[in-house]
Structure 1
């Protein structure tokens, strides 16, 4: 994995957890607005919207650089619209990055998979 690919995965991973948190906070603000009159939906919606746009842009960049199969790319997109999906995406991306580093080190050291 080259440095640009690793960077694109890292950016996607960094924005996935905050995007997930902002989504949950937006849902909470929506419930609070309708139950107790606490109205923070607009600012939270703005923050979540910006994070979601960043997630989609970073997702497109990662898909382009990693050459994911359509199924994998679609999974990461679907995770962005599920309430806890951002956290799942972050864990999967972390695992994928760790595996890529291990494979890169093995290739560099000349270790052949038997």
Structure 2
């Protein structure tokens, strides 16, 4: 379980970073600079990370018996900029046992 949680934390970090890059760098370049190259470059990796985030959230949520409120916060974090970092600090970091085996 610890390995799955650590994997989810990494995916959440990468998903959050890709979303920020896509939203605040690639999209403005596309519309203000008329260059869609960066959206194409970042879009697919972000989409894959988004799907991975959701799948891992469901698996971990079922295993840890998250409440509906926790599920909702984790899922909403996938669509709000910077929110995956909040989930990591407030939910995931507290969930990982210090000396637990994988």
Under TM normalisation by the shorter chain, which class is it?
0.7 to 0.9
Instruction: Say how many residue pairs are matched.
Output: 97
The SS at the match of 2:34 is coil
The SS at the match of 1:25 is helix
Larger radius of gyration: 1
Runs of 4+ deviating beyond 4 Å:
none
TM-score, normalization by structure 1: 0.77
The SS at the match of 1:101 is coil
Gaps of 5+ in 2: none
RMSD: 1.6
Structural mapping, 1:1-114, within 5 Å: 4=1, 6-27=2-23, 28-39=25-36, 40-92=38-90, 93-97=92-96, 100-101=97-98
Q: Deviations over 1:55-77 (max 9, x none)?
A: 01110110111011111111111
Gaps of 5+ in 1: 105-114
TM-score, normalization by structure 2: 0.85
